Chains A and B, each alone.
Chain A
């Protein structure tokens, strides 16, 4: 089955710096890759996603890139702010239909200090 690896497990940056979180997946059939942000005591919140037919997607300060050949995808946050501090999870969706499980990475704890 699908396996998602995520690095780093913790990341500390200064406010205004960029942060990059990387994930690799094992199943070449995976075709949808969402990123979730989880704040303390809350559920995962979908912040951006990318489908396998595109290589990059951007939404304001957040961007995601996908390299299907290498089977890895990354989250880029520019101009980080203290409110970006949270746990970020990548996930892969291994089948071409709804109703199937998301396979999550282990998460990255991002700390942005002012």
Chain B
């Protein structure tokens, strides 16, 4: 049974710093891994999607990597801004067609 873990559960970082969010999963037989952000009380916004054959994806200040063999993904945020404050969720698309989410990392960027 696939389990997705995100550590830490919460993180506070001064504005301007680079940071890394972590996501680990137990079963490497995945289709893809997707990173989302969620603002309080809102739906999820897709940030990056990495297919199982890819190693990384980049969008602006965001870079996501995927290492299937070790069951890990990281989301790197460069030059953090207060507007980056949100909860970041990773979701793994499994070969049984189920998508399993981690519980998220609540990120707070300090002005």
Chain B binds chain A? no
Task: Give A residues with C-beta under 8 Å from B.
Answer: none
Task: Give B residues with C-beta under 8 Å from A.
Answer: none
